[in-house]
Amino acid sequence: MAVKSDYFCHQSGVIPYRLRKGSLEILLITSRKERCWIIPKGIIEHEYSARNSAAKEALEEAGVKGSVHRKLLGVYRNRKLGKTCTVKVYPMRVTRIYKVWAESDREREWVSLKKALKLVSNDGLKRVIKKLPATI
């Protein structure tokens, strides 16, 4: 069992996407503190699978629901509170977008794959995002 202080380091997230006029669009959100562009992600709660936890984060952080793919898209690492966290990432085809959601203070923006790769600063997350077109 993980040490309690490392609990927050086991995370999952989604890359929310949609197809508009034949083009892939990815939904990015801003982080709370640094306001940098990220994907919805969070701690994998004990009562949830990684996929279900990722879907829960998408609703809370980005105000979207959808179909989370069964297959893991990839894994990346990020720093949080001085520790390295591992994030399991799944693609999620968005089927519903809410105008108001739990963390509406975050910005969200639909962008092209090319723009997403420019906006995201984490190289590991960029590598995972690049895999998305081959999976949908």
Question: What span, in angstroms and rounded, lies between the C-alpha atoms of 76 and 61?
Answer: 19
* H-type alpha helices, the chain: 50-57, 113-119, 123-131
User: Looking at residue 74, what is its pLDDT?
Assistant: 97
Any idea of the CA torsion for 61, 126, 132, 42, to the nearest 10 degrees? -30
Question: What span, in angstroms and rounded, lies between the C-alpha atoms of 66 and 19?
Answer: 13
pTM as predicted: 0.90
Per residue of the chain (136 residues), give pLDDT as tens: 444 556 668 999 999 999 999 999 999 999 988 889 999 999 998 899 999 999 999 999 999 999 999 999 999 998 877 788 899 999 999 999 999 999 888 999 999 999 999 999 999 999 999 999 999 8
| Residues whose CB falls within 8 Å of the CB of residue 99, separated by 6 or more in sequence, listed in order | 63
Pick the CATH number of 7-135 from 1.10.3720.10, 3.30.750.24, 3.40.50.720, 3.90.79.10: 3.90.79.10
Question: What span, in angstroms and rounded, lies between the C-alpha atoms of 134 and 136?
Answer: 6
- What's at 110, amino acid-wise? W
Residue 17 and residue 132 in contact, taking contact as beta carbons nearer than 8 Å: yes
